[in-house]
């Protein structure tokens, strides 16, 4: 029976200085993997023993390739990748500028695409199998008010996951994704303790906002031998937010 253990593996988790990425990176460490954390800022979060942290701006042209090169320098046996980096910069659709739209696509899609490409090239060159997990969102399936660029970028991440799964399967690299719903992170801090939070809690079948740690188990599973026959799939982690049509009155 395949296990959920990641002992003997090394993982790079992009956007893991806080929020969902940080929780996933911590969970991979608990599962036995060596972990390379990543963020944009030089100030690093608290790291578990044996882990490392890299500060790289993924919006820079060479950022994705530079990050993978540095991760291999920190952990030569790198074979797992979580493409989690992303951001939200939206304004209402009629106020959206080309610059803001492009920044959203560059960080949420382009950077993840080319991090995955650089990672896969290294594994293929070494004839090493591996696994990738991407972070999309329920916004990749359902739109939200004043979130057009973000919604489009997360929809693109759903297809990125599927097309990379097809492209990389011949090389023994599996690609799957998670689609979190409303998770309590710095990205969602603005709606906490507001009528919006109360509305969402009525819509979420499990009755509460998610925590970053709620996303970590699915990522561990998808990267582990227990998921060895799974590729091109997206696990929705939303407490039932997108299941019901109306929610509780």
**pLDDT, tens digit, for every residue of 206-230?**
999 999 999 999 999 999 999 999 9
Query: Is residue 150 among the annotated active site residues?
Result: yes
In a domain? residue 249: no
In a domain? residue 245: no
Q: Quote the pLDDT of residue 172.
A: 98
Q: Quote the pLDDT of residue 245.
A: 79
**N residues, the chain:** 249
| Coil, helix or strand at residue 48 | coil
Strand ranges (E), the chain: 10-13, 34-39, 52-55, 80-83, 130-135, 173-180, 234-237
Q: In sequence order, what are the residues at sequence separation of 6 or more whose Cβ sits closer than 8 angstroms to the Cβ of residue 229?
A: none
Q: In sequence order, what are the residues at sequence separation of 6 or more whose Cβ sits closer than 8 angstroms to the Cβ of residue 54?
A: 36, 37, 38, 39, 67, 70, 71, 74
The mean per-residue pLDDT over the stretch 45-56 comes to 96
The active-site residue out of 22, 150, 200, 229 is: 150
In a domain? residue 72: yes
More confident residue, 110 or 198: 110
What is the CB neighbour count within 10 angstroms for residue 137? 30
Q: Quote the pLDDT of residue 188.
A: 80
Cα–Cα distance, 165 to 141 (Å, whole number): 19
Give this prediction's pTM. Answer: 0.95
* Cβ-contact 131, 80 below 8 angstroms: yes
In a domain? residue 196: yes
CA distances from 171 to 5, 88, 130, 174 (A): 22, 33, 9, 9
Write the burial class of residue 142 (CB in 10 Å: 0-12 exposed, 13-18 middle, 19+ buried). middle
Query: Can you give the CATH number for the domain in which 89 is found?
Result: 3.40.50.720
Task: Share the mean pLDDT of the chain.
Answer: 95
Q: Is the pLDDT of residue 1 over 60?
A: no
The encoded tokens of residue 183 equal 């998770």
Looking at 126-178, list the stretches that DSSP marks H as alpha helix, in order from N- to C-terminal side: 148-168
Q: Is the pLDDT of residue 164 over 80?
A: yes
The mean per-residue pLDDT over the stretch 147-170 comes to 98
> At which residue do the structure tokens 């060596």 appear?
34
Q: Quote the pLDDT of residue 2.
A: 67
In a domain? residue 155: yes
Give the structural domain span for 103: 10-237
Give one DSSP letter per residue of 85-115, joined into a string.
--------GGG--HHHHHHHHIIIIIHHHHH
Q: Give the DSSP letter of residue 183.
A: B
In a domain? residue 2: no
In a domain? residue 191: yes
In a domain? residue 16: yes
Sign of the Cα pseudo-torsion (230, 236, 239, 240, in order): negative
The mean per-residue pLDDT over the stretch 78-106 comes to 97
Q: How far is CA 151 from the centre of its chain?
A: 15
Which stretch of 13-17, 119-123, 165-169, 182-186 has the lowest confidence by average pLDDT?
182-186
Q: Quote the pLDDT of residue 138.
A: 97
% residues pLDDT > 70 (the chain):
99
State how many domains the chain has: 1
Cα–Cα distance, 157 to 218 (Å, whole number): 17
Q: How many CA atoms lie within 13 A of 194 on its CB side?
A: 6
Q: Is the pLDDT of residue 97 over 60?
A: yes
């Amino acid at each position: 029976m395949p296990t959920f253990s990641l002992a003997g593996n090394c993982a790079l988790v992009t956007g893991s200085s806080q929020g969902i990425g940080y929780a996933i990176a911590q969970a991979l460490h608990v599962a036995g993997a060596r972990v390379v954390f990543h963020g944009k800022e030089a100030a690093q979060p608290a790291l578990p023993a044996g882990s490392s942290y890299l500060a790289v701006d993924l919006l820079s042209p060479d950022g994705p390739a530079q990050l993978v090169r540095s991760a291999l320098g920190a952990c030569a046996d790198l074979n797992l990748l979580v493409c989690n980096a992303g951001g939200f910069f939206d304004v209402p659709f009629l106020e959206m500028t080309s610059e803001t739209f492009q920044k959203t696509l560059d960080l949420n899609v382009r950077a993840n695409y080319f991090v995955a490409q650089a990672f896969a090239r290294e594994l293929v060159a070494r004839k090493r199998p591996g696994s990738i997990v991407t972070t999309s969102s329920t916004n990749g399936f359902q739109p939200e008010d004043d979130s057009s660029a973000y919604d489009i970028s997360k929809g693109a991440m759903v297809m990125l996951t599927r097309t990379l799964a097809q492209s990389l399967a011949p090389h023994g690299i599996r690609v799957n994704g998670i689609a979190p719903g409303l998770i309590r992170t710095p990205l969602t801090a603005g709606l906490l303790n507001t009528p919006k939070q109360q509305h969402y809690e009525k819509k979420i079948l499990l009755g509460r906002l998610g925590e970053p740690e709620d996303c970590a188990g699915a990522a561990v599973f998808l990267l582990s031998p227990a998921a060895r026959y799974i590729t091109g799939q997206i696990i929705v982690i939303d407490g039932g937010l997108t299941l019901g049509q109306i929610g509780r009155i």
